[in-house]
Structure 1
Amino acid sequence: MKKKILSLTLILFLFLAGAAVLILQKTARPAYLAWSVSLEAPVEGGVVKNVQPSLSVPTQISKIGADYFLVDCYHNQILTSPSPDLPLTEWTVLTDQINRGHTIAGDGSVFLADDTDNNRILVFEKKDGRFFMTQTFENIGIRPHYVVYDESTGRFYALSSMTGELYIFVRPENGSRVALEKVLSVPELSGAYVRSFTIDGNDIYFVSGNGSILRARKRDLKIMERWPVPDQIAGMIQLTRIQDYFYITVSTDLLGNQDAATILRVSDLSQLATGQWEDIYDNFIGGGTPYYISSFDGHYYLTEHRLPGHSVWQFDVEDNRLTNILSLY
């Protein structure tokens, strides 16, 4: 009898241990650095001038170091410039080897860009004032959609927008090659279209893709808090904290209708469930689809599409009041 009990106990222990291993594998992989294969011949970028007189679904404008970048999503290119004020045809093409890319991020030495519809992450370096694509990471989930450099951890975070997986990349100190350190995941976001995330200290906020905004612990993506949102604003793009408000850009409703596109803000995310938000899109004319908000050079910037002639905006926020709103492109 004792032997039977011991056997059953051993079987139960092994079962639980196996289950624990399986959970760990699903939520954090790999436990070692995974290196991409460096390109045999680095591809130079930032040389050829942009030939497009206008933008087609611009998704992000940013500044990294002394360089400016503009992701021209539907033209399948990322542009770069030493100034944000140059005519579009004076910007140069960092790369056109992407398919519907959305963002780029950098740490001052290397730059990572998502190649959304090719499920890749591209790595660039700047040497002697010239850009080179030096690495590619393949099979980065499904439609990697948003890349951020987190200075506090010295890591790059890239979101697979359809699987709820967050790929974490690292550049070892004094090196230029980038490695995939680990992959974390939020299982409940698998199959939902989540366009971005926001790192806020030790937390990461995931915008609504499944009907709720999630606050997760950055180190392991354990869900700490959630805020349900109405169907009419469920297709969110980005959440940005500016002074006393969360600014949220919305692309569609739950069914994918872009007529719901807007920009709203709330001081408390719990206000969303009851519709207690302030719609601020009319400050930018409205009628298009706002996308990512960024901040540099003392201003905020907004990209937008579906509205000819108003693709990139610059604005300021003073005492929670939007001011100095300018259309750049």
Structure 2
Amino acid sequence: MRTLPKRLKKGDTVGVISPSSPPDQENLKKALPFLEELGLNVKLGKSVYEEKGYLAGTDKERLADLHAMFRDPEIAGIFCAGGGYGAARYADQIDYAMIKENPKVFWGYSDITFLHTALGEYAEMVTFHGSMLASDVGKPEFHERSRRMFGQLFEPFELHYTEEVSPLETIVSGVAQGQLVGGNLSLIRSAIGTKFDLDVKGKILLIEDIDEEPAEVDEILNHLRMARKFDEAAGIVIGDFKNAEPNKRKPSFSLEQVLADYFSGLKIPIVKGFKIGHCEPHFSVPLGALARLDGDAKTLTILPGVQ
């Protein structure tokens, strides 16, 4: 069992960092009042303003921000401004023992998937796959349902995903229970063969991605297949695959054909259509929390991610 971070309370101070690429400053500026509306005080990390090529400062600077926020006893939670690329570059330098002693709400997705996997494995804590500030909250299309998902940080409650949220399709029926793990498909693949290789044995695997056309999704899924990830998982939750349209390679299979090719013959419950990923609304979920996927009823139930 992973450690549940303490719930947030009104009046708490939370940190904002950029673990990967530089955030859009205008969108971030528009997003910060949302945290204040939640009753939170905000402390910005130095990486939020740094820019070094496609990175939000050097690896050393971004790592220092991450460490500082976990070490600071006045910081109750940490929100990522955005994703992009770069979190994996310093994952092997993180002080996991220190973070394990100071578990806190840690919230983000996309490139942050690498940190979710690392913190789950080596700090043994639940983290949150949720909307990011500059990438989502600060944009006009930020959905009311996405907004409400932050409530799970203040009061422990079970999450119930049904077709009231979005249409779902069962690829393989059945029921599975286990920790919910995963996130961005490309980042899961990038960790294979490293010490941060995602452990999916007996767990429910969540996958989502953006800007990967069907042939590229095919390539990644084949890599996971040959790495035996699908043989080890208890169930698979297929989230949003934004812009998964043929571009460079025409003619092409559709995304639906690719998913069916890899998943329809498996003997574990697999359901697709979840609004989890680069989408609005974004259904935010605690990674490492216990979940139940019911392919017959087309539901996903997740236990609370905070205590």
TM normalised by structure 1 equals 0.30
Larger radius of gyration: 1
Between structures 1 and 2, the one with greater strand share? 1
- Which has more helix, going by share of residues? 2
- TM-score normalised by length of structure 2: 0.32
